[in-house]
Each structure stands twice: as C-alpha cells, then as structure tokens.
Amino acid sequence: MTNIQEIVKILTDAGIEPNEANIEVKLLIEHFCGYGVKDIIMGKKLDYSKLEVVKEKAIRRAKTREPIQHIIGFADFMGEKFIVNPSVLIPRDETEILVRKAIEIINKNNFKTALDVGTGSGCIACMIAKYTDCQIIGLDISTDALNTALDNASRLNLFNKAIFRKSDVFSNVKPGEKFDVIVSNPPYIPKKEKAEIQKEVTFDPDLALYTDDTDGLEYYRKITTAAPNVLNSGGYLLFELGFKQADRVARIMKENHFSDIEIVKDLAQIDRVISGKLYI
C-alpha cells in the first residue's frame, strides 16, 4: 500500500528539495484527497485508495517537472487561491511585495484608479481591488490570460472593482483616460538566457517571461516612457524587478519625470520592487 513517505521520496529522488517535496505532497493530498489540517486535528482517517491518485500526480511532477500549481490548477497568493494554467505566470511570493507596496501607496493617498499592465492571472489586480477602494483595470495582450483573470475576479466577487481589457501595454487605454497608479510585473528575462532557465519556469508562457532586447529592460522602457500620458500628476508607477535591474530601471524612471524613487528588497535582500512618483 502506498504511503506518504513513499510519495515524498518520488519527488526528492527527482531532485526536489525535501522541504519543498513535503509541501507539494501536502498540497496534492489536500486537493485530490480533500484531506487537510482540520482532518488531522479531528483524527479523521485518510482514504488511502485516493493516495494512488496522489502518487500518479507525483510521478508526473517528477518526470516532467511540471509545476505543482499546474497539476492542481491553483496557486496560493496572499491567502487566496488563484486559477492558473499554461497561459498565465504562476504567482510568486516576491510579487506579494509589489502588491503590498501598491496597496500601501493607494490607501495612504486615497487613490481611486489603478492600472495593472500585463495582468496575467489577475492576481495583482484582484488583491489591489480587494484591499483598497480602487477600481483597477488589468491589461494583457493574451485573450486566454484575460479569461483566467476574469474567472479569478469572479471567484473573489470583485465585479466592477477589477476589470480586464485586451491591450498591448497602453494601446487600448482610451483617450483622456487617466490613473492614479500603474503597477506591473513585466517580462524581464532576455531571450538569450532562456536555455539556463529552471525547468519548472519553462511551463510559464514565453510572453510573460522574455524580452527581445539583451538587457531585459524592454518593457520597463516601454511602460515608463508612455506612463506620463496615462498617469495623473502625483501618481505612482511601480514595478517588480529582475535581478540587478534596480539601478537601470531607476535611471529610466528619473529620465521620464519620476522622482521619490524607492526600492524594496525581498527576503533574500535582492532589490525586488521599485516605485516612483510622477512630477509634471
């Protein structure tokens, strides 16, 4: 009879860190067996016949390195479950730093309108809508991503607070439309680095990951240079950053009328989020 330790070993033998393997098996058991912490506390017995399904999924994960979130169909982000699939970037812990900084700025300034460029699953837009009085529009060039974002907003009952629109950067922002905040986790990996990318990341859509330039700054430039046209004076622009990009992105922002530049580090002390205020 299959046991939990056996399933964990399938993952660790494939090179997945033991701590990560334990977390992933727990997620698989919760999803496919409907068995969670509450059941353990209540002393409820685990249906071991369902563990065979969990074992199958673990074997698939080990063989293909397909992310656990794709196997389950959901990713945890800021305490909510978001639908994910191959058309959207899997939300990552680092992106929470971006969202929390945006929420702080919005609530402090009592801002009412925001834009999320490259919304993907909609996780950034949805959590900003949930924790502020802002109405936020999520823009994306991918129809499949927009459908996923819409499903996520519906699950969180964010009708009329998180709205989604097909747009290549600001191409579909209406004439005269202005916002208090623009937030983005843009593609920032140059295509030349694609061969070195971790196997799990290759399951994310190329559109959300890679840039056509050599330094990964293509979308920071595109968004920042056009942002003053759609941002209110005194409004803020916030980005998630790629590794060692903070100084160059700060320079691009300063060249385009942004000041009060602030950089926030992640838990690994890497520059992860940048924000700036528009003065025109």
The average pLDDT across 245-260 equals: 96
The average pLDDT across 208-237 equals: 93
Confidence of residue 1 (pLDDT cuts 50, 70, 90): low
Kindly give, in sequence order, each residue whose CB lies less than 8 Å from that of residue 210, ignoring residues fewer than 6 positions away: 187, 189, 190, 191, 194
pLDDT at 79 over 80: yes
pLDDT at 42 over 80: no
The distance in angstroms from the start CA to the end CA of the chain is 69
HSE value, Cβ hemisphere, 13 Å, CA-based, for 170? 23
The lowest-confidence range among 30-34, 119-123, 249-253 is: 30-34
Give residue-wise pLDDT tens across range 83-128.
Answer: 999 999 999 999 999 999 999 999 999 999 999 999 999 999 999 9
Give residue-wise pLDDT tens across range 110-120.
Answer: 999 999 999 99
Q: Tell me what the pLDDT averaged over the chain comes to.
A: 92
How many other C-beta atoms are found inside a 10 Å radius of the C-beta of residue 22?
17
pLDDT at 43 over 80: no
pLDDT at 67 over 70: yes
| Higher-scoring residue by pLDDT: 263, 188 | 263
What pLDDT, on a 0 to 100 scale, did the predictor assign at position 103? 98
Cβ(136)–Cβ(125) under 8 Å?
A: yes
pLDDT at 7 over 70: yes
pLDDT at 69 over 70: yes
CA distances from 44 to 25, 240, 241 (A): 18, 43, 45
What pLDDT, on a 0 to 100 scale, did the predictor assign at position 36? 75
Class of residue 143 by CB neighbours under 10 A (exposed 0-12, middle 13-18, buried 19+): exposed
Confidence of residue 235 (pLDDT cuts 50, 70, 90): very high
Residue of 23, 27, 183, 16 lying closest to 95 (CA atoms): 183
Give residue-wise pLDDT tens across range 165-219.
Answer: 999 999 999 998 999 999 999 998 888 888 888 888 888 888 888 888 888 899 9
